[in-house]
Structure 1
Amino acid sequence: MLLHTAKIPEGILKTDRVQTLTLHLQLPLAQPCELSIPQLFKALVKDADEILPKAVDAIQSVETVEGNGGPGTIKKLTINEGGKSNYVLNKIEAIDEANLVYNYSLVGGSEFPENVEKITFESKLVDGPNGGSIGKLKVKYHSKGNAEPNEAEVKEGKARGDALFKAIEGYVLNHPEYN
């Protein structure tokens, strides 16, 4: 997949005083899961740029804005929901293939909340109890100043994360040629 390079809009990566809310979540995948955890990691991390636009109708494209795919890389996801085109910027914080860890932050976007500095996701895939897989996720909301995280936005973010995780898993399960 050819990735385009674009500039980050000025002012998106500003740093002010922040307040952090940390949530610990578990995202169980569909049971039974026929995929190995390394295969899921490959789909969720290494091949996500190619899979996301195929697995999620609303995602039009994934572009590398800055970096080489490792920590520090910033990616732009262009999303079309209800006929309206928006984007979100993700920054890769860490990739640890040996321990199946992938951390990234949402750092900006066309409708990124003004009171949020960034939202960091620390994820790890582990074996599930019956051969399935569990995605362990720690979410940190870094608010600007003394702003409190918006509960509705937190719930919406979790629902979107769950749906994204399931969409990627579903894509791989429905495409046996993927390996």
Structure 2
Amino acid sequence: MGVQTQEYATTASVSPTRLFKAMSIDFHNLFPKIVEVIKSIELTEGTGAAGTIKKLSIIEGGETKYVLHRVDELDEAKFVYNFSIIGGTGLADTLEKVSFKSQLVEGPNGGSIRNVHVDYFTKGDYNLSEEELKASQAKVEGLVKLVDGYLLANPDY
């Protein structure tokens, strides 16, 4: 097994408190409403704290797949949300798991910066291509921007 690492930061217009609530605390309720490919998110173990397993059902290429999302750390005071994709039909055959470590910090003009560290645990000697890494980063950054837009349009959320 190999490990490839990626780090990046994504800016958002809303405060870390609001973005953290939407992307970490209320993730399982909000994302199926605003992310077209997510059909449902159900808690299969736990209540949302560290150790919780969530099953995300997604529609990809016209077929329903799922990934298992394990909460590794949740620290509301420090805006830290760490999780791993640990299995499911939506996890690429070349990967054992993918671990995300993220922290929100205050950004300019009352906004946020979401710092992300990703470890891709690959099977055998497989190496993710630069295109695969860029595509993964683009998906995550797209989700942040989608949530940011939703929060801007729904100030009472």
Q: Same fold per TM (> 0.5)?
A: yes
Find out whether 1:96 has 2:79 as its counterpart: no
Q: Judge conservation of contact 2:43–2:54 (CA < 8 Å) in 1.
A: yes
User: Which of residues 59, 84, 90 in structure 2 aligns to 1:80?
Assistant: 59
* RMSD, aligned CA: 1.5
Find out whether 1:57 has 2:36 as its counterpart: yes
Shift of 1:138: 0.5
Q: Which runs of 4+ in 1 moved over 3 A?
A: none
Find out whether 1:167 has 2:137 as its counterpart: no
**Counterparts of 1:37 and 1:111 in 2: how far apart (Å)?**
29
Shift of 1:132: 2.0
Aligned to 1:24: 7
Which aligned pairs between 1:1-179 and structure 2 lie closer than 5 A?
18-29=1-12, 33=13, 35-178=14-157
Letter in 1 for 2:140: G
Identify the range of structure 1 (135-144 vs 107-116) with the bigger mean alpha-carbon deviation.
107-116
Larger helix fraction of residues: 2
Q: Provide structure 2 residue ranges, at least 5 long, that are not aligned to the other structure.
A: none
**Counterparts of 1:153 and 1:132 in 2: how far apart (Å)?**
29
Letter in 2 for 1:73: T
Shift of 1:147: 2.1
Deviation per residue, 1:38-57 (Å, 9 max, x gap): 12111111111111011111
**Counterparts of 2:149 and 2:68 in 1: how far apart (Å)?**
24
Q: Judge conservation of contact 2:15–2:110 (CA < 8 Å) in 1.
A: no
Are the structure 2 counterparts of residues 69 and 22 from structure 1 closer, same or farther at C-alpha, using a change threshold of 3 Å? same
**Counterparts of 1:69 and 1:131 in 2: how far apart (Å)?**
27
**Counterparts of 1:123 and 1:59 in 2: how far apart (Å)?**
21
Larger strand fraction of residues: 2
- What is the TM-score when the length of structure 1 is the normalising length? 0.81
**Counterparts of 1:131 and 1:176 in 2: how far apart (Å)?**
14
Shift of 1:150: 3.6
Are the structure 2 counterparts of residues 56 and 130 from structure 1 closer, same or farther at C-alpha, using a change threshold of 3 Å? same
Identity value in percent = 42
- What is the TM-score when the length of structure 2 is the normalising length? 0.91
